[in-house]
Amino acid sequence: MTIKVGDKLPDVKLVKATEAGPEAVQSADYFAGKKVAIFSVPGAFTPTCSARHLPGYVDKAGELKAKGVDEIVATAVNDPFVMGAWNKAAGSDDITMLADGNGDFAEAMGLTMDGSAFGLGKRGQRWSAIVEDGVVKELNVEAPGDFSVSSAEHLLGQL
């Protein structure tokens, strides 16, 4: 079942990419007590994700935080080393990378996609959300191949 507005985020293990290396976090604990702008991409270093999705959040980070967002989180079905490298290459200190290496978060959210035809295997869909104290307040899921409602600009307009 796909998560919806008003639902609590599923409680699964994610791995935060940090300067000191991977740090396991439990999603229920991680999202508790704060307002988070979160976006999911099918994969780090993939064309739309690198050319448009992540850069939009880097560019709009200050505006999102000025509207009350405590943290901006990117997630993908990638390992924490790839997520950390992607943040170093194209991100910023304003973006927290949470790796969903096994796809458990995407699966529990009901937001997976099958990229096998492109050699990608099972991945997370492209989406964005505003989460307050672990509860989904806004959710924007893209149609396959689209990039509009999960953008930083769209999410900013929802705050």
Active site residues: 49
Distance of CA 143 to the CA centre of its chain: 16
Rounded Cα distance, 22 and 24, in Å: 7
* Residue position matching structure tokens 């492109």: 118
Shortest CA distance to 108 belongs to which of 132, 75, 130? 75
Rounded Cα distance, 5 and 58, in Å: 25
Contacts of 17 (CB under 8 A, 6+ apart): 80, 81, 83, 84, 87, 97, 98, 99
